[in-house]
Copies of this chain bind each other. A is one copy, B any other.
Amino acid sequence: MVADMRAIARKAKQAGRSLATLGSAEKSAVLRRMALALRAKSEDLKAQNAADLEKARADGLPAAMLDRLTLSDKVIQGMAQALEEIADLPDPVGTITNMVRRPNGLMVGRMRIPLGVVAMIYESRPNVTADAVGLCLKSGNAVILRGGSEAFHSNQAIVAVLKATLTESGMDPDIIGFIPVTDRAAIMEMLKLEDDIDLVIPRGGEGLIRTVVENSRIPVLKHYKGVCHIFVDRDADLDKAYSICHNAKVQRPGVCNAMETLLVDAAIAEQFLPEMVKRYQESGVEIRGCPRTRNIVPSITTAATEDDWYAEFLDLILAVKVVDTLEEAIDHIERYGSNHTEAIITENYSRSMRFLKEVDSSTVLVNASTRFSDGGQFGLGAEVGISTSKVHAYGPMGVEGLTIEKFVCFGDGQIRQ
């Protein structure tokens, strides 16, 4: 396997060179052709997907996983549309910014370029295959794909369609590298190839991501989990607070930007919590409260444990804590949070600004739902992922996150004295 992984990476790197300087119009045209091809080949894709589904059922995979694995007409249509939307995004590559004239006359600026080769390691959803190819191609990067073993045939079929489109467009099909095995040893080999791969993006469970971080010599962009908080300050507009806190927990509880812990200023807890909890309970949310919370709303029967403050429930469960001050809220977030997304609800100017400055998370909001922490919502277009480590990107990452700036200098004979 060692040689194979290296060969895939080398070919991708080589193929990527031609892509790096390709014009935006050509890249968009290929993405549109890929969308057409996926629609045209939908019966083939569904046939291959059926093989994966059959095996998954035989292996007793849970219904939610079977659902994520299924390539329905709707999912295929979604993949095609996503490629068309990526085609419509602005192309960040080639832009030169910050061009300045130095005292010796040398013009120094920064040109945005692709990273080179991006490896995506992901789990069950086969539509990630098309998204990853689209985002990498748009940003001028070659891509190496390693999807979940349960979606192997589906991913292979999607890749075959996309590679054929590259070939038909006169482009090198090795721009897309596909790892033809599903054992973890292949990942381990790949993570050593720092000379040929520029970035690894693992998307999936915390276990997968930790394995990648521990073993990679290649830079990794990732977030482990989203333990998002909302702090309802004493000067909150309570109507906004009810609406935002309900939305952040209930609208889509299974995603990383949903709220997991609600922090309530003691000064308004008695006024705010009974109505808030009532609305949550009407929506089927299980509340796990600190002692003061349970004292104010005795109908809450579950006590929050230490583990609950760290938990990403991804479900209709919410931990609630009463705090005495803004400082206590910020300290709680610092201690238990995951640097993902936090919000404050307040009409107080100074405390809103303190929260915005002092909370260290990748997205900090005032008077808005944590659910907005998303590349699409922020206007970045399709989302590559969310980074919660403060290197390269922090927060939702769009196509620009797959690029970097190099220095370009226009001289007329300058030498260093």
Interface of A toward B, CB cutoff 8 Å: 17, 20-21, 94, 100, 102, 106, 108, 111, 113, 115-116, 194, 198-199, 213-214, 217, 219-221, 237, 239-240, 243-244, 246-248, 251-252, 334, 356-358, 360-369, 371-373, 377-379, 389-396, 404-416
Contact = CB atoms under 8 A, between A and B. Distances in A.
Nearest to A217: B213
A405 B364 CA distance: 11
Given A237-B413, A372-B409, 8 more contacts: A106-B372, A194-B389, A243-B413, A247-B416, A368-B411, A390-B404, A391-B391, A394-B405
B371 A406 contact: no
A172 to B, nearest CB: 15
Given A115-B391, A410-B366, A411-B366, A377 B416 contact: yes
A362 B219 CA distance: 17
B413 A240 contact: yes
A379 B237 contact: no
A409 B368 contact: yes
A108 B362 CA distance: 13
Nearest to A210: B217
A361 B334 CA distance: 39
A113 B360 contact: yes
A111 to B, nearest CB: 7
A371 B116 contact: no
A357 to B, nearest CB: 5
A18 B319 CA distance: 28
A17, A113, A390, A413 — which one has the most chain B CB atoms within 10 A of its CB? Answer: A390
A393 B405 CA distance: 7
Contacts of A21: 357-358
Nearest to A345: B413
Contacts of A243: 413, 415
B102 A367 contact: no
Contacts of A412: 240, 367-368
A390 B116 contact: yes
Nearest to A409: B365
A364 B213 contact: no
A389 B198 contact: yes
Contacts of A251: 415-416
Nearest to A393: B404
A372 B104 CA distance: 11
A390 to B, nearest CB: 5
Nearest to A115: B390
B357 A94 contact: yes
B219 A391 contact: yes
Contacts of A220: 219
A393 B407 CA distance: 10
Given A102-B379, A111-B356, A414-B369, A362 B407 contact: yes
A217 B219 CA distance: 10
Contacts of A252: 416
Contacts of A113: 360, 390
Nearest to A108: B378
Contacts of A408: 356, 363-365
